[in-house]
């Protein structure tokens, strides 16, 4: 028999006992099946209650047209008793109000009194259908265009000039029928001692229409009138509104797609009878039948059958994953090829899908810090524009211009000034960015996290379960011929190291085993083929008088492996080395972060050996080993001390303090409540490449925000002076105003073209 060389008994350097695994609680590690991360992470754990939003009310707001409207509604809502904060999003046309039990009726009444419409959005409500409003706007645009075209004919061919009364009639219909929306909204703003885009449009077009009417009545001539200008302004602005609405609907496609994932009905088995019932009528414990090709309506656990489940819309995982009896599944995923009987564990607001939708909604409703700049400008924008228009009128009259020229230049100032683009630049980019990220398995908690992530310079990683799979594997046994004996001895153990030995021995014929006994904290004993064997750590060997001071063991320990020994009484037979396997693609993912100019750090409770081994395999630049979970937050704070913006990547369970201490917490826990509440960003898959994706999404979204704000300011900074000095006609000003909002939204939509 081959015998390992022996030497005087000496205890090896402190090793991880064979009964222990790495640095995290066993319950946390068993929570995550790393072969199906991260969907199975959540699914294999008890379903946690949905994240509560007590004291938060969502309202759908009607009638907003620009950032001034949003700011006005925020002020009105903030004054309602019991409200602590109110955030209004122009792009989503929603308000999120928080406070101590705010009364929805009072909130709606306050918004209504301010001249806008409001309705409470119920939880789990389907996406609002804006089709009727879009059709109405399109009808108004077509009607205005049909009546305006004859007025423009005289500009092209003077002989086609319409009589004055015909011009007056056509322009009046466009002005007061199709343009009535501007008067209503403008009046509501003026009544509230505020201003908005509609007020500017109403004043500008009314001035052009009024000047034309006065000239026509005074002279009776059809020439030299400006009815075509007022009608064309209304038409241009209506066209801009239609295009803007279509573009804004495109920013919400990702969220709407998520909200439509859950089926309306489910086939449930009760008392042996299968019936179709509304999903809202399901109860915990119901048995739901899902056939091939159908969407799963509930979160649950498979009781019968097996199938490949496509959860790409929830996690971004590109390929279906095989599930069988005992595995958990999520509402909204697709059963691709098997008949399943699923026991319901979560319904409605408790499901993973509902929590994802709620998180995306909250992110899109929140405001990025940069939005404060646009809000401050919008608050004084309309009064300033009115003052500039008045100064333009007075200045041209003082310079000797005719009243017609002075009024038209003032009208141009009123029309080109558009606070819409300022209000849309930030929220539209955030909507597209967060929606696009969610489609790829990246959940961003709020706009502040999205904006902050672009400035990250250091990324700190937990090791176990983040950089590694969180489960040990047998990487070496010397000599290899004792593998079958070790696997036979471990047949009765449920320990992770025992499972690693059995997996390594797969396909080998195992001898029989009797008299199995587990020794807590040391290992196991038993009889294999009539021989009494021991398998465990150095302590078990020392207690039985077996020397373990071997070069093989020391080499394994130096490489960061957990060392166990197989022996029979008085004689060592083999040395086994275990290591936690690095996640596939980890090195490439870390390389992407380095390519983005980021510094990478590992924070782990493991010893220096295992930590350094993983760092070498993944390319991590700095290692902080031997750190207790409670001390990781202090380590993150130390990284931030030099002014670097730090992102912490962890599993969202034992890393919660460190996630909270970082500038950006990135949780890889697969959507558990702990991860969602602690981290700013949650990754729905255990794919480390998503860390770089999240930072790239933040950088691109932030770039789009600043581009949008630049163009919004540029239109006004350049356009208003040009209009004031007479270089822009009212029609050109109207076209530019409409173009400003459309271009800002269209620029944000370009984010949808991003690919990792």
Q: pLDDT tens digits for 494-527?
A: 777 888 899 899 888 889 888 888 887 788 999 9
pLDDT tens, position by position, 412-424: 888 787 666 776 7
Residues of the chain with CATH 3.40.50.1000: 441-468+583-699
Q: Looking at the domain that runs over 441-468+583-699, which CATH code has it been given?
A: 3.40.50.1000
pLDDT tens, position by position, 121-175: 876 555 555 566 678 888 888 999 999 888 877 666 767 778 889 999 999 999 9
Strand 321-323 to 307-310 pairing: antiparallel
pLDDT for the residue numbered 12: 30
- Rounded Cα distance, 383 and 642, in Å: 44
Half-sphere exposure of 191 (CA within 13 A, CB side): 11
CATH topology of domain 56-120: Alpha-Beta Plaits (3.30.70)
Residues of the chain with CATH 3.30.70.100: 56-120
What is the average pLDDT score of the chain?
A: 80
- CA 69, distance to chain mean position in Å, is 27
Residues of the chain with CATH 2.70.150.10: 264-350
Entry pTM: 0.66
**Which carries the bigger pLDDT value, residue 393 or residue 242?**
393
Q: Contact at 8 Å (CB) between 363 and 49? A: no
209: closest CA among 171, 250, 261, 251? 171
pLDDT for the residue numbered 737: 72
Active site residue 462: yes
Sign for the pseudo-dihedral over CA of 258, 261, 264, 268: negative
Q: Is the pLDDT of residue 404 over 60?
A: yes
Q: So what CATH class is 26-31+470-581?
A: alpha beta
- Among candidate residues 462, 580, 663, 693, the one labeled active-site is 462
Could you tell me which residues come within 8 angstroms of residue 586 by beta carbon, excluding any fewer than 6 positions away?
A: 467, 468, 617, 618, 688
- Rounded Cα distance, 520 and 159, in Å: 104
Residues of the chain with CATH 3.40.1110.10: 26-31+470-581
pLDDT tens, position by position, 257-277: 677 777 888 999 988 888 999
pLDDT tens, position by position, 461-482: 988 778 888 778 888 898 888 9
Q: So what CATH class is 264-350?
A: mainly beta
């Amino acid at each position: 028999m081959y015998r390992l060389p022996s030497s005087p008994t000496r205890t090896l350097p402190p090793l991880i006992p064979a009964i222990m695994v790495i640095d995290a609680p066993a319950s946390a590690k068993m929570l995550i099946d790393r072969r199906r991360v991260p969907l199975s992470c959540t699914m294999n754990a008890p379903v946690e209650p949905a994240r509560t939003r007590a004291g938060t009310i969502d309202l759908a707001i009607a009638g907003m047209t620009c950032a001034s409207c949003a700011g006005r509604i925020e002020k009105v809502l903030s004054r309602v008793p019991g409200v602590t904060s109110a955030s209004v999003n122009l792009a989503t046309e929603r308000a999120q109000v928080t406070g101590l039990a705010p009364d929805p009726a009072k909130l709606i009444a306050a918004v209504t009194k301010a001249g806008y419409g409001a309705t409470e959005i119920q939880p789990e409500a389907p996406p609002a259908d804006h089709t009727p409003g879009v059709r109405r706007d399109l009808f108004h645009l077509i009607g205005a265009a049909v009546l305006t075209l004859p007025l423009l004919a005289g500009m092209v061919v003077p002989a086609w000039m319409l009589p004055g009364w015909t011009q007056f009639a056509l322009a009046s219909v466009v002005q007061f029928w199709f343009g009535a929306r501007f008067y209503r909204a403008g009046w509501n703003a003026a009544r509230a001692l505020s201003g908005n885009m509609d007020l500017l449009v109403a004043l500008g077009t009314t001035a052009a229409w009024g000047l034309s009417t006065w000239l026509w009545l005074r002279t009776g001539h059809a020439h030299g009138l400006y009815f075509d200008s007022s009608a064309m302004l209304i038409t241009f602005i209506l066209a801009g509104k239609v295009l803007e609405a279509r573009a804004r609907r495109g920013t919400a496609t990702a969220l709407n797609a998520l909200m439509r994932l859950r089926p309306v009905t489910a086939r449930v088995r009760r008392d042996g009878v299968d019936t179709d019932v509304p999903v809202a009528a399901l109860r915990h414990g119901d048995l739901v039948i899902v056939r091939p090709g159908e969407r799963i309506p509930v979160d649950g656990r498979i009781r019968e059958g097996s199938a490949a489940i496509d959860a790409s819309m929830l996690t971004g995982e590109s390929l279906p994953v095989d599930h069988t009896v005992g595995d958990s599944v999520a509402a909204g995923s697709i059963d691709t090829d098997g008949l399943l009987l699923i026991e319901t564990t979560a319904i409605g607001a408790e499901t993973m899908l509902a929590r994802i939708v709620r998180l995306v909604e909250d992110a899109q409703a929140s405001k990025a810090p940069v939005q404060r700049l646009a809000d401050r400008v919008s608050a004084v924008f309309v009064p300033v524009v009115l003052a500039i228009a008045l100064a333009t009128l007075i200045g041209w009259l003082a310079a000797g211009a005719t009243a017609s020229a002075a009024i038209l230049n003032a009208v141009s100032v009123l029309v080109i000034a558009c606070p819409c683009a300022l209000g849309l630049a930030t929220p539209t980019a955030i909507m597209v960015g967060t929606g696009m990220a969610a489609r790829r398995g990246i959940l961003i908690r709020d706009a502040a996290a999205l904006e902050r992530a672009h400035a990250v310079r250091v990324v700190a990683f937990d090791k176990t379960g983040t950089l590694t799979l969180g489960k040990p594997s047998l990487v070496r046994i010397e000599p290899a011929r004792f593998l079958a004996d070790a696997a036979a001895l471990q047949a009765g153990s449920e320990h992770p190291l025992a499972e690693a030995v059995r997996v390594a021995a797969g396909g080998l014929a195992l001898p029989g085993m009797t008299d199995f006994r587990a020794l807590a904290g040391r290992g196991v004993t038993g009889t294999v083929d009539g021989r009494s064997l021991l398998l465990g750590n150095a302590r078990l060997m020392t207690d039985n008088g077996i020397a373990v001071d071997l070069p093989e063991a020391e080499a394994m320990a130096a490489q960061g492996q957990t060392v166990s020994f197989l022996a029979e009484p008085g004689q060592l037979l083999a040395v086994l080395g275990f290591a936690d396997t690095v996640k596939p693609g980890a090195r490439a993912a870390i390389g992407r972060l380095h390519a983005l100019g980021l510094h990478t750090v590992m924070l782990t409770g493991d010893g220096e050996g295992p930590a350094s081994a993983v760092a070498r395999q993944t390319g991590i630049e700095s290692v902080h080993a031997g750190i207790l979970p409670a001390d990781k937050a202090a380590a993150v704070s130390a990284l931030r001390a030099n002014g670097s913006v730090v992102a912490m990547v962890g599993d969202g369970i034992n890393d919660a303090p460190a996630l909270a201490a970082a500038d950006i917490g990135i949780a890889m826990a697969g959507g558990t409540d702990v991860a969602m509440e602690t981290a700013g960003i949650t990754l729905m898959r255990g794919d480390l490449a998503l860390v770089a994706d999240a930072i790239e999404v933040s950088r691109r979204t932030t770039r789009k925000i600043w581009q949008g704000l630049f163009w919004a300011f540029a239109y006004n900074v350049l356009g208003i002076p040009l209009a004031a000095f007479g270089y822009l006609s009212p029609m050109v000003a109207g076209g530019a105003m409409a173009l400003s909002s459309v271009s800002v939204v269209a620029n944000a939509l370009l984010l949808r073209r991003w690919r990792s």
